[in-house]
Amino acid sequence: AVFSSVANIEPFDISFNGFNSFPNNYIFLEPTYEDKALDSIYYNLAQAFPNLQTRPNFAAHLTCGQFQKNEVDSYTSQFSGTWKPFTFSCTEVHMIARRSGTDPFHLIHSVTLGQKHAPTFPSPSTNFNTQ
């Protein structure tokens, strides 16, 4: 299901030009990208896996940290003052999962964007043993 949901999306560039924050005091890097590519990936995966938690107002972002409410503006300004924008090519989608909110994320599946045929190797295990 992961492969068929995203493999037909071609690789695309993502730029991180600056910081923003959510009302819950998370500071994040706000991406810019072509043709709503990240939105397409998100919504395609949400349709393929309807039992997973989704957000109706999805906002692609890269979380940098959560701060006290009275610190958000100060840290956002501090980070922005030294930030050097960068761009990279997104060529793969990695599915991650964790058992609880305090466990680290584990890679459970990867798909290369722009593939026309499913890979012939077996899917990775969803067993999160980290030994």
For 43, counting Cβ atoms within 10 Å of its Cβ (0-12 exposed, 13-18 middle, 19+ buried), the class is middle
Q: What pLDDT was estimated at residue 131?
A: 46
The Cα–Cα gap between 49 and 131 comes to 28
Residue 89, H or E segment: strand 86-90
Q: What is the mean pLDDT of the chain?
A: 85
Select from 108, 76, 77 the least CA-distant residue to 94.
108
Tell which wins on pLDDT, 75 or 45: 75
The tokens of 105 are what? Answer: 């994320």
- Average pLDDT over every residue of 25-44: 90
pTM: 0.74
- Residues forming beta bridges with residue 31, ordered by sequence position: 16
Banded pLDDT at 125 (limits 50, 70, 90): low
* Cβ–Cβ < 8 Å for 20, 76: yes
* Cβ–Cβ < 8 Å for 54, 39: no
The tokens of 39 are what? Answer: 């939105």
